[in-house]
Amino acid sequence: MKLTGINGFIYRICTLIMQFSYLQLLWICYTVLGLGVFGIFPATAAMFSVVRKWIMGESDIPVYQTFWKTYKNEFLKVNMLGLILTAIGWILYIDYHYFTFGESVVSSVIKIVTLIVTYFFITTCIYFFPVYVHYRYRLMDYIKFSFLYSLASPLKSAGIFIISSVIYYLFMKVPVVFIFFSGSAISYIWMWYVYTTIDRLRSNNKKGIVD
C-alpha cells in the first residue's frame, strides 16, 4: 500500500534516515576492517558509489552489494591514490608548520603560497572520490582531473568547501548525529555538488563514465 500525504512524507523521511545511517555504519565497519589506514579509502569510495547511484535516481539499489563490490574491486587502486594524497597533505602540513615561522618577508610569502596550495589540495580531495566513482581513468589521471575540475569551477569549489566546513562544525556539536550521519551526509552533498559541476562542464563526449 502506497502512503500519501503526511504519512507518506514521514515514511520517506524515516527511510532516508535509515539509509544514511546504514551507509554510515558500513563505512565505519569496513574502515575498521581495513585496519583504518587501509580501509578508509576503499570504504569512502564504496560510500560514494552508493550515493552516486541515489543521485542518479537509482534509489532502490542493493546498498550492501553495491558497497561491497566497490570496496573489493577498488581496494588496491584507491589505496594507492589515497596514500599519495595523504603524502601530499603531510608535506603541506610540514611546510606550513616548519618552514613558515618568523616574521620575514620570505616566511610570509611561503606561508601565503602554502595556504593557497593547501586550499586547492583540499578542493582536489573533495572532487577526488566523486570523480573516482564516476569515471574510468588511468591511475594518476584521477588526481589530475580532480584538480582541474576544482580549478574549472572556482566558485562551486569554494561553496562546497564552505558548506562542508559548516556542516562538519554543526555535526561536531551533536556527537550522536556526527557518529551516525557525518560521512554519509557529507558524501551525498559532495557527490551531488560535484556531479552537477561535472555534468555542466563535460561536453557531449561521455567516454569513460562508469555504468
* Mean pLDDT computed over every residue of the chain: 86
Tens digit of each residue's pLDDT (9 = 90 or more) over 33-59:
988 889 999 999 999 999 999 998 888
Instruction: Confirm whether 55 is domain-assigned.
Output: yes
pLDDT band at residue 206 under the 50/70/90 scheme: low
Instruction: Confirm whether 211 is domain-assigned.
Output: no
Q: Are 114 and 179 in contact (CB under 8 A)?
A: no
| Residue given cell 581513468 in the structure block | 137
One-letter amino acid at 77 equals K
Instruction: Confirm whether 95 is domain-assigned.
Output: no
- Give the Cα-Cα-Cα angle 89, 93, 98 (nearest 5 degrees): 150
Number of structural domains (the chain) is 1
Tens digit of each residue's pLDDT (9 = 90 or more) over 99-143:
666 677 777 788 888 889 999 999 999 999 999 999 999 999 999
Helices assigned H by DSSP within the chain: 5-33, 40-55, 63-73, 75-98, 105-134, 141-152, 154-173, 175-201
Domain of residue 187 covers: 5-82+125-144+151-201
Instruction: Confirm whether 116 is domain-assigned.
Output: no
Residue 211 has pLDDT above 70, yes or no: no
Instruction: Confirm whether 35 is domain-assigned.
Output: yes
Report CA Rg, the chain. 19
Instruction: Confirm whether 88 is domain-assigned.
Output: no
Q: What is the mean pLDDT of residues 72-91?
A: 95
Instruction: Confirm whether 10 is domain-assigned.
Output: yes
Instruction: Confirm whether 130 is domain-assigned.
Output: yes
Q: Are 171 and 165 in contact (CB under 8 A)?
A: no
Tens digit of each residue's pLDDT (9 = 90 or more) over 131-183:
999 999 999 999 999 999 888 878 888 888 888 888 888 888 888 888 888 89
